[in-house]
Chain A
Amino acid sequence: MTKTAVKTKKKNEFWERNKKSGGYLLRKKIMDAVVSICRFILLFGLCFMILQPILNKISVSFMTEQDLFNPIVINIPEHFTTENYKIASEIMNYSKALRNSLITSLTIATLQIAMCTLVGYGFARFKFPLKKFWFGCVILVILIPPQTIASSLHLHFRFFDVLGLFKLTTGDTINLRGSALPYYLMSAGCMGLKNGLYIYMIRQFFRNIPEDMEEAAYVDGCGTLKTFIRIMLPEAKPILTSCFLFAFVWQWTDGFYSKMFLGSMPLVSTSLARIVDSLGAYIQRITGVKTTISIAYSNAILSTGTLMIILPLIIIYLFAQRSFVESISSSGIKM
């Protein structure tokens, strides 16, 4: 039998079945087709809407200044240039800021997740008095916007002292503002960016692991800490990686904590926030004349800078998309 013969046979069968069902089959087929077409248009539109700013930034970042004012040029630059990247990287002090951001984000994310894992495990697996109360505190940490305590933290670290010890010995408090130490201390105490959320997610994950494994380990004479490191940590690898990724990414783009504690260190997030102001100073330094920069041009530079900063994130996302998405759905968030 040839292919066409099979096709015609199938077609005939379809009409036959349609007849038997009283037209229901045909109606259903048409309905399905209509639904999937509508769905495609809708989802395509929404996806395009989300991706469009990024695509737009890419095209703008390769344009020269005259292309920006040319009404004919919309997406494809007429004068292709990589000059914007050079200027943006110079203004942002890119290589240095990138290195700083990389080191800071990596160390802080590692510290935060290590601490949050300990705490999450403690909440998931042990019974102790006041457990409900302390877990309520975790929820409170999620709920309190860090801005509320910002002013007092600001002063806290401006005049830092541990129980008055420094005042006694040196006669003065230490100014920790501008150094990264306070933020590391806070991360060690699980009070960094969105740390309450990580504790919650990790606890939820540990709770779903069957208790038999631990009990077996205890019976075999494994101590609490050893059980945790040898048995539970390898089990929790997926949630830990994805929490780490979240911590890294959110630290990378964070402006609030970076501005408050790491302000003096050039980081990609803080230098991006300043890029438009720095552009004026940069142009003035080069030409020696105070010039006003057109909105279009400063925005092109801003787009270029944004692209340069999110590029590492896009690469991470391409490789680790699954663990980002699945950690949230697997943590089974329920009240």
Chain B
Amino acid sequence: MKKQKNKLAGLQKRKALSGYLFILPFIIGFLVFMIKPLFQSLYMSFCTVELGSGNFNPIWTGLENFQYAFAVDPEFNRLLVEEITRMMIYSVAIIVFSFFVALVLNQKFHGRALVRAIFFLPVILSSGVILGLETDNQLMATLATQIEETTQNISITGALEEILRTAGVGVRAFEKVFEIIDNIYDVAIASGIQIIIFLSGLQTIPSSMYEAADIEGCTKWESLWKITFPMISSMFLVNWIYTVIDFCMRSDNEVIEKIQVVMIDQMKYGRASAMSWVYFVLILAFIGVTALLISKEVYYYD
């Protein structure tokens, strides 16, 4: 009896060993290319790095780099605040937009696969460098101003904007909404993956639930809030985290650009590390807090 138990433990041990062998590449890579550089850059952020021939020697200067980033550098504070508010607003907009599109695409109609494919297209095409190039496309900008001039600002959205603005209700809030609507293209091209995730979540909801609710006299609007929302609430968490991270890593992110300029062009490794650590800690804290808040609302059916 005892012997058999030992044997089982041996098998488990062997399995554990082979498990470790399987994830060995990750462990090595993680330690060498993630943990070491991470701590090194943390250390460098407290130092002034001098490049010598054949080596580099960091000289401990304490909090000077952080002081520089916040108090001396003319741009960093402004860029940081701007980028983080932009991230919050756009992440919310992307989540709302992709949820809405997923709801529409979940209905049955002809050409659904085609529409889905088109919405997913920007994930492939507008990634990496192309996104950064597209945002400062001056030709499009001049085209837009030309159109505005020729039509003399007569458009439905423009008129609506005027009416709502003169009505004077929550002007500031409306302005953000208008800004998002004006940049709906940016929102649409950033929500390809989120739409697919929502869609797959929607398709796992059993239709019998809706039928039962329908028979009980539930309207479509009510069943959206009482069935659809709770059932895919975990997808909101996933999508939220994905969107925020995706936004931080976009190549047209101004903070990242600033860091790259400081690092590669000015060769100030210490300052660049300090800036990127500030940014990283802020983002991580933001993700942590919001994920905690959302995960409290998440409802698990099974």
List chain A positions with a Cβ less than 8 A from chain B. Answer: 36, 39, 42-43, 46-47, 49-51, 53-54, 56, 60, 115, 118-119, 121-123, 125-129, 131, 134, 137-138, 140-156, 158-159, 172-173, 185-186, 188-191, 199, 224-225, 249-250, 252-256, 269-270, 272-273, 295-296, 299-300, 302-303, 306, 309-310, 313-314, 316-317, 321, 324-325, 328-330, 332-335
Known: A118-B22, A134-B27. A50 touches B130 (CB 8 A): no
Contacts of B134 in A (CB 8 A): 53, 306
Task: List the B residue with the shortest CB-CB distance to A268.
Answer: B129
Contacts of B184 in A (CB 8 A): 49
Measured in the bound complex, the distance between the Cα atoms of B140 and A56 in whole Å is 9
Contacts of B118 in A (CB 8 A): 47, 50-51
Task: List the A residue with the shortest CB-CB distance to B196.
Answer: A328
Contacts of A138 in B (CB 8 A): 26
Task: List the B residue with the shortest CB-CB distance to A68.
Answer: B139
* Other 15 A-B pairs with CB < 8 A, given A127-B12, A253-B129: A39-B109, A115-B26, A119-B22, A145-B280, A149-B38, A152-B44, A159-B55, A186-B29, A190-B25, A224-B15, A249-B124, A273-B132, A295-B142, A324-B124, A333-B235
CB < 8 Å: which of B25, B235, B280 contacts A119?
B25
Known: A119-B26, A273-B132. A149 touches B37 (CB 8 A): yes
Give B217-261 as 1s and 0s: 1 = Cβ < 8 Å from A's Cβ atoms: 000000000000000001101100000010011010000100110
Contacts of B130 in A (CB 8 A): 253, 272, 306, 309-310
For the complex of A and B, 10 pairs with smallest distance between CB atoms:
A189-B29, A126-B19, A122-B22, A253-B128, A329-B200, A299-B139, A128-B16, A255-B129, A152-B41, A152-B37
Measured in the bound complex, the distance between the Cα atoms of B251 and A270 in whole Å is 13
Contacts of A317 in B (CB 8 A): 117, 121, 124
CB atoms of B30 and A189 under 8 A apart: yes
Measured in the bound complex, the distance between the Cα atoms of B128 and A156 in whole Å is 24
- A333 CB to closest chain B CB (Å) equals 5
Contacts of A147 in B (CB 8 A): 249, 256, 259-260, 276, 279
Measured in the bound complex, the distance between the Cα atoms of B200 and A328 in whole Å is 8
CB atoms of A156 and B40 under 8 A apart: yes
CB < 8 Å: which of A46, A151, A295, A333 contacts B101?
A46
Measured in the bound complex, the distance between the Cα atoms of B41 and A80 in whole Å is 53
Query: Which residues in chain B, 114-134, are within 8 Å of chain A measured between CB atoms?
Result: 115-125, 127-130, 132-134
Measured in the bound complex, the distance between the Cα atoms of B125 and A50 in whole Å is 11
CB atoms of A49 and B185 under 8 A apart: yes
CB < 8 Å: which of A191, A199, A325, A330 contacts B116?
A325
CB atoms of A329 and B197 under 8 A apart: yes
CB atoms of B138 and A295 under 8 A apart: yes
Whether a CB of chain A sits under 8 angstroms from the CB of B152 is no
CB < 8 Å: which of A134, A152, A272, A335 contacts B237?
A335
Give B175-211 as 1s and 0s: 1 = Cβ < 8 Å from A's Cβ atoms: 0000000001100110001001101100100000000
Measured in the bound complex, the distance between the Cα atoms of B124 and A314 in whole Å is 8
Give B97-124 as 1s and 0s: 1 = Cβ < 8 Å from A's Cβ atoms: 0000100100101000001111111111
Whether a CB of chain A sits under 8 angstroms from the CB of B46 is no
List chain B positions with a Cβ less than 8 A from chain A. Answer: 12, 15-23, 25-30, 32-34, 36-38, 40-41, 44, 49, 54-56, 101, 104, 107, 109, 115-125, 127-130, 132-134, 137-140, 142, 184-185, 188-189, 193, 196-197, 199-200, 203, 234-235, 237-238, 245, 248-249, 251, 256, 259-260, 263-264, 269, 272-273, 276-277, 279-280, 283-284, 287, 295, 298
Contacts of B109 in A (CB 8 A): 36, 39
CB < 8 Å: which of B20, B33, B260, B295 contacts A335?
B295
CB atoms of A191 and B33 under 8 A apart: yes
A and B contact pairs by CB, cutoff 8 A, 11 listed: A46-B101, A46-B188, A56-B140, A122-B21, A126-B19, A137-B26, A149-B38, A191-B29, A253-B129, A295-B138, A325-B117
CB atoms of A143 and B284 under 8 A apart: yes
CB < 8 Å: which of B30, B125, B238, B272 contacts A151?
B272
CB atoms of B34 and A141 under 8 A apart: yes
Task: List the B residue with the shortest CB-CB distance to A332.
Answer: B200
- B172 CB to closest chain A CB (Å) equals 27
Measured in the bound complex, the distance between the Cα atoms of B53 and A172 in whole Å is 9
Measured in the bound complex, the distance between the Cα atoms of B114 and A50 in whole Å is 13
Contacts of B298 in A (CB 8 A): 335
CB atoms of A254 and B128 under 8 A apart: yes
CB atoms of B125 and A159 under 8 A apart: no
Measured in the bound complex, the distance between the Cα atoms of B169 and A60 in whole Å is 43
Measured in the bound complex, the distance between the Cα atoms of B17 and A317 in whole Å is 40
Known: A144-B280, A172-B54, A310-B130. A131 touches B138 (CB 8 A): no
CB atoms of A188 and B25 under 8 A apart: yes
Measured in the bound complex, the distance between the Cα atoms of B250 and A215 in whole Å is 44
Measured in the bound complex, the distance between the Cα atoms of B109 and A119 in whole Å is 41
CB < 8 Å: which of B16, B29, B237, B295 contacts A190?
B29
Known: A329-B196, A334-B238. A134 touches B26 (CB 8 A): yes
- A160 CB to closest chain B CB (Å) equals 11
CB atoms of B193 and A328 under 8 A apart: yes
CB < 8 Å: which of A39, A51, A154, A255 contacts B104?
A39
Task: List the B residue with the shortest CB-CB distance to A297.
Answer: B139
CB < 8 Å: which of A189, A254, A256, A324 contacts B32?
A189
- B101 CB to closest chain A CB (Å) equals 7
CB < 8 Å: which of B34, B138, B196 contacts A325?
B196
CB atoms of B132 and A119 under 8 A apart: no
CB atoms of A126 and B197 under 8 A apart: no
Measured in the bound complex, the distance between the Cα atoms of B220 and A186 in whole Å is 51
Contacts of A129 in B (CB 8 A): 16
Contacts of B26 in A (CB 8 A): 115, 119, 122, 134, 137-138, 189-190, 199
